[in-house]
Structure 1
Amino acid sequence: MAFLSSFALAALGALVVPARGGVTYPDCANGPLKSNTVCDTSASPGARAAALVSVMNNNEKLANLVNNSPGVSRLGLSAYQWWNEALHGVAHNRGITWGGEFSAATQFPQAITTSATFDDALIEQIGTIISTEARAFANNGRAHLDFWTPNVNPFRDPRWGRGHETPGEDAFKNKKWAEAFVKGMQGPGPTHRVIATCKHYAAYDLENSGSTTRFNFDAKVSTQDLAEYYLPPFQQCARDSKVGSIMCSYNAVNEIPACANPYLMDTILRKHWNWTDEHQYIVSDCDAVYYLGNANGGHRYKPSYAAAIGASLEAGCDNMCWATGGTAPDPASAFNSGQFSQTTLDTAILRQMQGLVLAGYFDGPGGMYRNLSVADVNTQTAQDTALKAAEGGIVLLKNDGILPLSVNGSNFQVAMIGFWANAADKMLGGYSGSPPFNHDPVTAARSMGITVNYVNGPLTQPNGDTSAALNAAQKSNAVVFFGGIDNTVEKESQDRTSIEWPSGQLALIRRLAETGKPVIVVRLGTHVDDTPLLSIPNVRAILWAGYPGQDGGTAVVKIITGLASPAGRLPATVYPSSYTSQAPFTNMALRPSSSYPGRTYRWYSNAVFPFGHGLHYTNFSVSVRDFPASFAIADLLASCGDSVAYLDLCPFPSVSLNVTNTGTRVSDYVALGFLSGDFGPSPHPIKTLATYKRVFNIEPGETQVAELDWKLESLVRVDEKGNRVLYPGTYTLLVDQPTLANITFILTGEEAVLDSWPQP
Structure 2
Amino acid sequence: MGIQQALALYPPAKQRLSAVINTQRVKSLIDSLTLEEKILNLVDASAGSERLGLPSYEWWNEATHGVGSAPGVQFTEKPVNFSYATSFPAPILTAASFDDALVREIASVIGREGRAFGNNGFSGFDFWAPNINPFRDPRWGRGQETPGEDSFVVQSYIRNFIPGLQGDDPEDKQVIATCKHYAAYDLETGRYGNDYNPTQQDLADYFLAPFKTCVRDTGVGSIMCAYNAVDGIPTCASEYLLDQVLRKHWNFTADYNYVVSDCGAVTDIWQYHNFTDTEEAAASVSLNAGVDLECGSSYLKLNESLAANQTTVQALDQALTRLYSALFTVGFFDGGKYTALGFADVSTPEAQSLAYEAAVEGMTLLKNDKRLLPIRSSHKYKSVALIGPFANATTQMQGDYSGIPPFLISPLEAFKGHDWEVNYAMGTGINNQTTTGFASALAAAEKSDLVIYLGGIDNSIEAETLDRTSLTWPGNQLDLVTQLSKLHKPLIVVQFGGGQLDDSALLQNEGVQALVWAGYPSQSGGSALLDVLLGKRSIAGRLPVTQYPASYADQVSIFDINIRPNDSYPGRTYKWYTGMPVVPFGYGLHYTKFEFEWAQTLNHEYNIQQLVASCQSTGPISDNTPFTTVKAHVKNIGPEASDYVGLLFLSSPDAGPAPRPNKSLVSYLRLHNITSGSQGTLDLPLTLGSMARADENGNLVIFPGHYKIALDVSDSLTFEFSLRGDPLVIDTLPVPDAHYDFTVPVHIQPPSTEAHS
**TM-score interval, smaller chain:** over 0.9
1:119 shift after superposition:
0.4
Q: 1:335 to 1:450 in 2, by over 3 A?
A: farther
Alignment partners' CA distance in 1, 2:474 and 2:49: 53
CA contact (8 A) 1:637 1:650 kept: no
Q: Answer with 699-708 or 630-639: which moved more.
A: 630-639
1:656 alignment partner AA: K
Residue matched to 1:72:
49
Q: Which secondary structure state, in structure 2, belongs to the residue aligned with residue 292 of structure 1?
A: helix
User: Whole-Å Cα distance in 2 between the matches of residues 105 and 492 of structure 1?
Assistant: 22
> Shift of the alpha carbon at 1:56?
3.1
> Gaps spanning 5+ residues in structure 1: where?
1-25
Q: Which residue of 1 aligns with 2:178?
A: 197
Q: Alpha carbon RMSD of aligned pairs, Å?
A: 1.7
Maintained 8 Å contact 1:318/1:349: yes
Which whole-Å CA distance do the structure 2 matches of 1:644 and 1:600 have between them?
Answer: 33
Relative distance call for 1:571 and 1:644 in structure 2 (3 A) is farther
Q: Deviations over 1:425-466 (max 9, x none)?
A: 110000111100101111011123332111113210123121
The one-letter amino acid of 2:554's match is S
Tell me if the contact between 1:37 and 1:51 (Cα under 8 Å) persists in the aligned partners: no
Q: CA deviation at 1:607?
A: 0.5
Please give the secondary structure, in 1, of the residue aligned with 2:429: coil
* Structure 2 Cα separation of the partners of residues 48 and 723 of structure 1: 41
Aligned to 1:663: 638
Shift of 1:410: 7.9
Q: Go from structure 1 to structure 2 and tell me whether the alpha carbon gap of 1:77 and 1:406 turns closer, same or farther (over 3 Å shift).
A: same
Aligned to 1:226: 203
**What is the Cα deviation at residue 552 of structure 1?**
0.8
Per the alignment, residue 313 of structure 1 pairs with 287
Letter in 1 for 2:627: F
Query: Which residue of structure 2 lines up, in the alignment, with residue 13 of structure 1?
Result: none
Name the structure 2 match of 1:10: none
Q: CA contact under 8 A between 1:117 and 1:569: conserved in structure 2?
A: yes
More deviation in 43-52 or 149-158? 43-52
Q: Which residue of 1 aligns with 2:566?
A: 593
> What does 1:151-162 correspond to in 2, within 5 Å?
151-162=131-142
- Aligned residue in 1 for 2:407: 437
Query: What displacement does 1:52 show?
Result: 3.1
* Aligned twin of 1:498: 470
Deviation at 1:59, TM superposition (A): 2.6
Structure 1 residue 274: deviation in Å? 1.0
Q: Counterparts of 1:204 and 1:71 in 2: how far apart (Å)? A: 32
Identity of paired residues, percent?
Answer: 45
What is the correspondence of 1:640-651 to structure 2 with a 5 Å cutoff?
640-641=615-616, 643-644=618-619, 646-651=621-626
Q: Distance in 2 between matches of 1:632 and 1:361?
A: 53
Counterpart residue type for residue 725 of structure 2: G
Change (3 A) 1:315 1:732: same
Cα 1:659–1:253 change in 2 (3 A) is same
* Partner SS state of residue 725, structure 1: strand
Q: Could you report, residue by residue, the CA deviation over 1:598-636 in whole angstroms, capped at 9, with x for unpaired residues? A: 100011141100100000000111121232222332233
1:445-460 mapped onto 2 (5 Å cutoff):
445-456=415-426, 457-460=428-431
Using the TM superposition, name which of 95-104 and 41-50 deviates more. 41-50
- Structure 2 equivalent of residue 623 of structure 1: 597
User: Which residue pairs with 1:396 in the alignment?
Assistant: 365
Q: Which residue identity is paired with 1:432? A: S
Residue equivalent to 1:606: 580
TM-score between both structures, scaled by the size of structure 2: 0.93
- Tell me if structure 1 keeps the 8 A contact 2:6–2:32: no
Measured in 1, the distance between the counterparts of 2:64 and 2:410 equals 21
User: 1:237 deviation in Å?
Assistant: 0.7
Pick aligned residue for 1:730 from 701, 706, 722:
706
Find 1:467's aligned residue among 423, 434, 439: 439
**Among candidates 32, 45, 66, match of residue 55 of structure 1:** 32
In the alignment, structure 1 residue 421 sits paired with structure 2 residue 385: no
Equivalent positions of 1:205-354 (< 5 A) are: 205-208=186-189, 213-293=190-270, 295=271, 298-322=272-296, 329-354=300-325
| Local SS of the residue matching 2:460 | coil
C-alpha distance in 2 between matches for 1:657 and 1:331: 60
The answer on whether the counterparts of 2:42 and 2:292 sit within 8 Å (CA) in structure 1 is yes
Please give the alpha-carbon distance, in whole angstroms, between the structure 1 residues aligned to 2:732 and 2:292: 27
Count of aligned residue pairs for this structure pair? 721
Aligned mate of 2:375, from 386, 401, 405: 405
- What is the aligned counterpart of 2:344 among 370, 375, 387? 375
Cα 1:730/1:409, change in 2 over 3 Å: closer
Q: Quick one: distance in 2 between partners of 1:269 and 1:122? A: 29
Offset at residue 409 of structure 1 (A): 8.5
For 1:574 and 1:564, locate their aligned partners in 2 and report how far apart those are by CA, in whole Å: 25
Q: Which amino acid aligns with 1:172?
A: F
**Equivalent residue number for residue 162 of structure 2:** 182
The 1:427–1:189 alpha-carbon spacing in structure 2 relative to 1, beyond 3 Å, is: same
The question of 1:486 aligning with 2:458 is answered yes
Deviations 1:11-49 (A, max 9, x none): xxxxxxxxxxxxxxx986xx6522335677334354443
Give the distance between the partners of 1:51 and 1:667, measured in 2 at CA: 59
Q: Which amino acid aligns with 2:458?
A: D
Q: Residue 119 of structure 2 corresponds to which residue in structure 1?
A: 139
- SS at 1:648's partner residue? coil
> Any idea what the Cα deviations from partners look like across 1:652-690, whole Å, max 9, x if unmatched?
110011011110100000000010002122111100010
> Which residue type is aligned with residue 503 of structure 2?
D
Letter in 1 for 2:311: F
Deviation sequence 1:216-239 (CA, Å, 0-9, x none): 111121111111111111111111
1:638 correspondence with 2:613: yes
Classify the secondary structure of the residue corresponding to 1:75. Answer: coil
Aligned equivalents of 2:621, 2:445: Cα separation in 1: 60
Shift in CA distance, 490/674, structure 1 to aligned 2, threshold 3 Å: same
Q: Whole-Å Cα distance in 2 between the matches of residues 43 and 759 of structure 1? A: 34
Secondary structure of 2:325's counterpart equals: helix
Instruction: Name 1:23's counterpart in structure 2.
Output: none
Out of 358, 373, 379, the residue aligned to residue 329 of structure 2 is: 358
**Aligned-partner Cα distance in 1 for 2:620–2:343:** 40
Given that residues 198 and 234 in structure 1 are in contact (C-alpha distance below 8 angstroms), is that contact kept between their aligned partners in structure 2?
A: yes
**Partner Cα separation in structure 1 for residue 698 and residue 25 of structure 2:** 38
- Equivalent residue in structure 2 for 1:91, among 68, 72, 77: 68
Q: CA deviation at 1:712?
A: 1.1
Say yes or no: does 1:520 pair with 2:492: yes
Q: Which of 549, 564, 567 is the matching residue for 1:576?
A: 549
Distance 1:169 1:344, change over 3 A: same
Residue 720 of structure 2 corresponds to 744
d(CA) in 2 for partners of 1:541 and 1:700? 23
Indicate the larger mover: 99-108 or 449-458: 449-458
**Cα deviation code 1:716-744 (max 9, x no counterpart):** 01000000011222221111011100112
Q: Which letter does structure 2 place at the counterpart of 1:620?
A: F
TM-score, normalised on structure 1?
A: 0.92
Question: Distance between the aligned counterparts of 2:540 and 2:28, measured in 1?
Answer: 53
Distance in 2, matches of 1:375 and 1:680, equals 56
- The 1-side partners of 2:74 and 2:87 are apart by 16
Distance 1:704 1:343 in 2: 59
The residue type paired with residue 8 of structure 2 is K
List runs of 5+ in structure 2 lacking aligned partners.
737-757
Q: Matched residues in 2 for 1:49 and 1:450: separation? A: 64
The 1:626–1:137 alpha-carbon spacing in structure 2 relative to 1, beyond 3 Å, is closer
Give the match's secondary structure for 2:109. helix
Say yes or no: does 1:173 pair with 2:173: no
Shift of 1:405: 1.4
- On the 8 A contact 1:38/1:47 being kept in 2, the answer is no
Aligned 8 A contact 1:104 1:435 in 2: yes
Counterparts of 1:500 and 1:458, CA distance in 2: 15
